[in-house]
Amino acid sequence: MRVLVTGAAGLIGTAVLDLLADRGVAVTALVLEPASLKADRVVVGDAGDPEVVGEALRDVTDVIHLAAIPNPLNDPGEVVFGRNTLATFTVLDRAGQAGVRRAAIASSYAICGLPFARTGLRMPYLPIDTELPLQITDPYALSKQTDEATAAMVHRQYGMSVVALRLPFVGTAGGRLASTSARFAGDPGAGAADVWSYLDDRDAASALVAALRPKAPGFHVVYVAAPETLAPQPTEWLLETFHPGVPRPSFPGREVPIDLRPAEDLLGFRARHPFEVRA
């Protein structure tokens, strides 16, 4: 087994490398710039370049694709959409041609449209699941919708199993999770578009690695997140305050309003690194 990890120098990528190293799995890391990484082979170049990707895929059996511009806030829309979708197509299509049979890709919770909405949007219902109508108004969410369509195409064309993980806000316990949780404590409305969801980077890595061996082959899309929110307030109060009138069941305590059962059923995944939220 040799896993190609694209975007390997990023927050989630380094956590994936740590996990694979702990398991003794051979790794090829694809990065834009030279870096010291936990990988026995490092390829430097653009994930959208077919020659670079072809070189990175040498002897690879599995792919975890993370390389992407992570939001639409700092680059022109055509750059965000163009680079993200080209990288995903190039990596997955070349992997299919090379005979790779399993891949996991980072989709995003933001595909629903609310986190980077450029017009007023309302959640259709809760909990969030893969049947939720998408309300995309930004190039990042559109790129993720296209990435998922690319993954479905690659599965049909090459028979590759691909799992797209719709990841929420990801951080480390002593970094982004702590600062964001503190912000939600004082300004809970700041997390409304993300329904206050999050995932520790170690859990994100575990989910991606688990997605290489789903219980059923094929193309799958699942949401992953910590089972409780990053906000100290009860979920019922948060929803009544910031998503009033949205059809939903009740959510006890700080339960996150996302359907996490499909990820558990398909991948056996449960988040195991909850952040200790303080009021």
For residue 62, being part of any structural domain is answered with: yes
Cα 262 to Cα 273: distance, rounded to the nearest angstrom: 19
Is 277 a domain residue? no
- Give the chain's mean pLDDT: 97
Each residue of 86-134: pLDDT tens digit? 999 999 999 999 999 999 999 999 999 999 999 989 999 999 999 999 9
Judge whether 103 lies within some domain: yes
Task: Report helix, strand or coil for 193.
Answer: helix
The residues pairing with 55 across neighbouring beta strands, listed in sequence order, are none
pLDDT digits (tens, 9 = 90+) for 3-36: 999 999 999 999 999 999 999 999 999 999 999 9
- Name the pLDDT band for 81 (thresholds 50, 70, 90): very high
For residue 139, whether the previous peptide bond is cis, meaning omega lies within 30 degrees of 0, is: no
Given a contact cutoff of 8 angstroms between Cβ atoms, the answer to whether 188 and 234 are in contact is no
Helices (H) and strands (E) in the chain, counts: 8, 9
Give pLDDT, residue 174. Answer: 86
Total domain count, the chain: 1
Edge to edge, the sheet with strand 219-223 lists 41-44, 26-31, 2-6, 62-65, 102-108, 161-167, 219-223
Asked if residue 43 is part of any domain, the answer here is yes
Predicted local confidence at residue 25, as pLDDT: 98
Full residue range of the structural domain in which residue 55 is found: 2-169+199-225+257-267
Are 200 and 275 spatial neighbours (Cβ–Cβ below 8 Å)?
A: yes
Q: Tokens 């993200």 — which residue?
A: 84
CATH number, position 219: 3.40.50.720
Identify whether 247 is part of a domain: no
Q: Is residue 182 part of a domain?
A: no
Q: 69-103: b or e for each residue (b if 16 or more CB lie within 10 Å)?
A: bbbbeeeeeeebbbbbbbbbbbbbbbbbebebebb
3-state secondary structure 52-63: HHHHHCCCCCEE
Q: What is the pLDDT of residue 93?
A: 98
List, in order, residues 6 or more apart from 61 with CB less than 8 Å away. 1, 2, 3, 100, 101, 102
Whole-angstrom distance, CA of residue 277 vs CA of residue 258:
18
Report the C-alpha gap between 55 and 19 in whole angstroms: 24
For the chain, where are the alpha helices, taking DSSP H only?
Answer: 11-22, 50-56, 77-97, 139-158, 176-186, 201-210, 235-242, 261-267
Q: What pLDDT was estimated at residue 279?
A: 77
* Phi and psi angles of residue 154, each rounded to the nearest 5 degrees, phi first: -65, -40
Residue 249 located in a structural domain: no
List pLDDT tens digits, range 153-174: 999 999 999 999 999 999 998 8
Amino acid at 237: W
User: Residue 234 domain-assigned?
Assistant: no
Token duo for residue 234: 């009860």
Residue 268: pLDDT band (50, 70, 90) is very high
Closest C-alpha among 174, 113, 180 to residue 140: 113
219 is written with which tokens? 């193309």
Give me the pLDDT at residue 190, please: 97
**Residues belonging to the chain:** 279
In this predicted structure, the answer to whether residue 278 has a pLDDT above a threshold of 90 is no
